[in-house]
Amino acid sequence: MIDALSLYYSEISKVGNVLILVDRADYTQGSANNNGVVNGLIVNTLHVKGLNDRGAGGGGLDQSNGFWFVARPQQSNNIPFYVTINNYTYSTFLADQNAYESFARDPQGNISFLKLGQLPSSGATQNRPSYRRIAYITQYFDTTLNKLLLWNGSQWVDTLGQSH
């Protein structure tokens, strides 16, 4: 577990930078070699500020430069790895808010994310979270509809599976 991780004003000048790189382990579950091997990471607070901020002349953060907040290049013997980020805050001075909001992560799909920071858990239809949603985990109580909704990866559905 990481209690707090802060990264301020770091230049992302090369392709393929990763803030948290999850390495692979070649241990199989139940083997004598995997004592103490964990299959998850909890970050209580992740705070990033001004990544790739090169002043008013340019810079900014986007996925086209190959930056990822969390990535795992290789799956390890089909052992899943879980990441929970309880609190995520950011600030930026450039027009790259979408990159921070969407939280570029794991392009290979080798990590299962359980939480990507605080999101509103209830409110009106128009205030549903639009970023950092996790399929079949992110829930929202829509006070306009008076229904609990679940993000299924492409749309919000109620407990009966009907889209809203």
Sequence spans of domains, the chain: 2-118, 120-164
**What is the rounded CA–CA span in Å between residue 78 and residue 93?**
40
| Structure letter (DSSP) for residue 108 | T
pLDDT at 1 over 90: no
**Buried b / exposed e across 92-129, counting CB within 10 Å, b at 16+?**
bebebeebbebbbbbeeebbebebbbebeeeeeeeebb
Share of the chain above pLDDT 70, in %: 74
pLDDT at 141 over 90: yes
What is the model's pLDDT at position 114? Answer: 92
pLDDT at 100 over 60: yes
What is the model's pLDDT at position 161? Answer: 94
Can you tell me which residue has the tokens 């990866």? Answer: 153
pLDDT digit string, tens, across residues 18-67: 888 887 655 455 555 555 556 889 999 999 887 766 554 555 565 556 67
Counting other chains too, the contacts that 60-66 makes at CB distance below 8 Å and 24 or more residues apart are: 60/92, 60/94, 60/95, 60/96, 60/99, 61/12, 61/92, 61/94, 61/96, 61/99, 61/100, 62/96, 62/99, 63/99, 63/104, 65/12, 65/15, 65/17, 66/14, 66/15, 66/16, 66/17
Structure tokens at 69: 């907040």
Q: Is 147 within 8 Å of 160 (Cβ atoms)?
A: no
What is the model's pLDDT at position 115? Answer: 93
Using pLDDT thresholds of 50, 70 and 90, give the confidence band for residue 101.
confident
Counting other chains too, the contacts that 29-32 makes at CB distance below 8 Å and 24 or more residues apart are: 29/77, 29/79
Among residues 23, 53, 20, the alpha carbon closest in space to that of 38 is found at 23
Identify which has the larger pLDDT, 138 or 62.
Answer: 138
